[in-house]
């Protein structure tokens, strides 16, 4: 999960997917991480507004710390999902040619009217709620895709 600073959208998507994975008994088989294309928030926790909105829905972002995408990520992860087109472009410029097939927009797994997860940083609480709505839907579809694509057995 990749956004610009790794303090709003990507840590939210990360935590939501981790919870969905745990609920299905797949935590030993699927690993999730998040990062930013920028470096200015490295080591910082997610935005307090993201943490608060997520916690109201049962997602805990408190253990996460922002980090920047590094070159090893492209080889380490099967899915590198950008929250918007700008981050997808930035990832594409950094990604070795052999791994470009792992890059895509996160909301390709959504069915909403959005193609990108809007950055809520300069919005009010409704922006953080929208992020949660979008990532919950996309993560349900993403997890179903991963289970089917990789032949995993889920508990539920």
Partner residues linked to 35 by β-bridges: 2
Positions annotated as catalytic residues are 3, 9, 119
Cβ distance 135 to 112 under 8 Å? Answer: no
Q: What is the dihedral of CA 59, 13, 142, 109, to 10 degrees?
A: 130
Rounded to whole angstroms, how far apart are CA atoms 127 and 107? 16
Helix (H) or strand (E) holding 139: helix 125-150
- Which token pair is 19? 């919870």
């Amino acid at each position: 999960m990749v956004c610009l600073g790794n303090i709003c959208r990507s840590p939210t998507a990360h935590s939501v997917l981790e919870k969905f994975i745990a609920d299905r008994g797949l935590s030993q088989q699927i690993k999730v991480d998040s990062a930013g294309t920028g470096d200015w928030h490295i080591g910082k926790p997610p935005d307090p507004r993201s943490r608060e909105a997520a916690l109201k829905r049962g997602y805990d972002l408190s253990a996460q710390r922002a980090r920047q995408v590094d070159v090893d990520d492209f080889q380490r992860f099967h899915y590198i999902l950008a929250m918007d087109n700008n981050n997808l472009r930035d990832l594409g410029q950094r990604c070795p040619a052999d791994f470009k097939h792992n890059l895509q927009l996160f909301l390709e797994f959504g069915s909403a009217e959005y193609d990108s997860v809007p950055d809520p940083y300069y919005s009010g609480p409704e922006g953080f709620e929208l992020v949660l709505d979008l990532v919950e839907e996309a993560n349900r579809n993403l997890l179903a895709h991963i289970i089917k694509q990789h032949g995993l057995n889920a508990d539920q």
